[in-house]
Amino acid sequence: MSQIQSTSHPGEPCRRVIVCHFGHENDACCTENIFEFLAEHGIDHDFIDLGATSATEALRRALAHGPGTALLGFNSQIDHAWVADEPLIIAAGRQGVPVLQWILDHPSVRWPEFNYSDARTSRFLFHSRYSQAYFARYCCTGAVTATAGSVGPNPRSRSADADFAAFARRPVSCLIALGLARVHTTAAETAAALASLPTSLAEELNGALARARFALDGPLETPVERAGAASGLALGDSDFNRCFRLVHDLVQSFRRARIMQIASRFDLLIQSDETARPIVAGGSAAFRPDVGMCETLARMPQCRAVLSVSPVNDSIHDRTCNALNAGCLPILEDNRVHRALFRHRQNALLFRYHDDSLAECLAIACGDARRVYALAERAAAMRDRAPFRFGAFANIVELAAGPSASGDPV
């Protein structure tokens, strides 16, 4: 259970949560999961499309409810929203309406996008404690925060298969749905940006990168902090965020490219962006570019196994939750959180990046269907248990009811 960072009085009980975003299908799927949880717990809920012409009037009506109503947005979308001639979060604060912003990516990636949010105007949600701690240290000291766990499984991926015969008829041996390009940039652009840093810093960060590629336990900022100290340069928070993001994105690009290079040798399905096509070209794997989340979720019940990775070593990706929901065998990084929740060759297959373990996992997944079914069946038995279904969604409600970082109404 995550902890809300506050030492002040309790706030107004949360009776209504209004999710606000611009309508992207990923956000819509996340909203469906949140609404399912809120409905089960008797909490009123609604959605406002921030891109709709009626958004301003809808937001005014929402803010008129005052305390007891909370706004919830993803990444920086609420921060960018306005009501008439002022930012939404300022208008919300004047009405005593808490604003919760769930940063779905690592905070180093998203925090530079925020314009008006701080410890007084907003409360923040994260997938993982590693991300939560990073945010408190390098982004917004003193903010009220909580972890909500994974986005969780979506109803679209739910499978009703009840026997081996149905499982064996699934046409896709293994689904690998991973983006290769990072947010707004390619690996080549990121590498060039790292090389443009002062020489001593670039050299130390390259050393941190070489070590971090294979590290699957601690937070990634630890080797970056050491690199910064060894460079002899004093890095402020914004500079550190930039350095961290460069290393983080290159680590993710390396890992995902390695997965695709190995997976291309197997009869399975890879979904990614077009930058991955040259990596998988000429192999046995089928490749589909730019597939949306809704289509991917609907395809999962047609797959016998699903591979997933976590950008942070202590977070559970929603792809893992949806794999269990679909009755698939999960193939996962052998990292801190997966090692604690799963058992290799019992209810999952765990792999690392420095050896042949991934190829071994994929050989099993693309092999005897009865063996895969036995593992997938044990994994699916966990799909409605914590922390997979609804993650730590209770913390959303608790955060909405909590005090501001100052202990006073925002």
Mean pLDDT of 46-68: 94
- Give the position of tokens 């794999």: 323
- In which band, very low, low, confident or very high, does the pLDDT at 135 lie, cut at 50, 70 and 90? very high
Q: What is the DSSP string of 317-339?
A: -HHHHHHHHTTPEEEEE--HHHH
Looking at residue 232, what is its pLDDT?
A: 94
Is 84 or 52 the better-scoring residue by pLDDT? 52
Show the tokens assigned to 329. 């065998």
> Thinking of the domain 155-380, which architecture would CATH place it in?
3-Layer(aba) Sandwich (3.40)
Mean pLDDT of 347-375: 97
Q: How far apart are CA 113 and CA 115, in angstroms?
A: 7
Looking at residue 84, what is its pLDDT?
A: 86
Predicted confidence (pLDDT) at residue 384 exceeds the cutoff of 70: yes
Predicted confidence (pLDDT) at residue 3 exceeds the cutoff of 60: no
Q: Domain boundaries in the chain?
A: 16-149+392-401, 155-380
pLDDT cut 70: percent of the chain above it = 95
Q: Is the peptide bond before 387 cis (omega within 30 degrees of 0)?
A: yes
User: CB of 304 within 8 A of CB of 329?
Assistant: yes
Show the tokens assigned to 163. 């026997």
- In which band, very low, low, confident or very high, does the pLDDT at 162 lie, cut at 50, 70 and 90? confident
Looking at residue 186, what is its pLDDT?
A: 82
What is the SS3 assignment for 219? coil
Q: What is the CA radius of gyration of the chain?
A: 22
Domains 16-149+392-401 and 155-380 share a fold: yes
Q: How far apart are CA 40 and CA 266, in angstroms?
A: 42
Looking at residue 405, what is its pLDDT?
A: 39
Looking at residue 91, what is its pLDDT?
A: 96
> Thinking of the domain 16-149+392-401, which architecture would CATH place it in?
3-Layer(aba) Sandwich (3.40)
Mean pLDDT of 387-401: 92
pLDDT cut 90: percent of the chain above it = 87
The average confidence (pLDDT) of the chain is 92
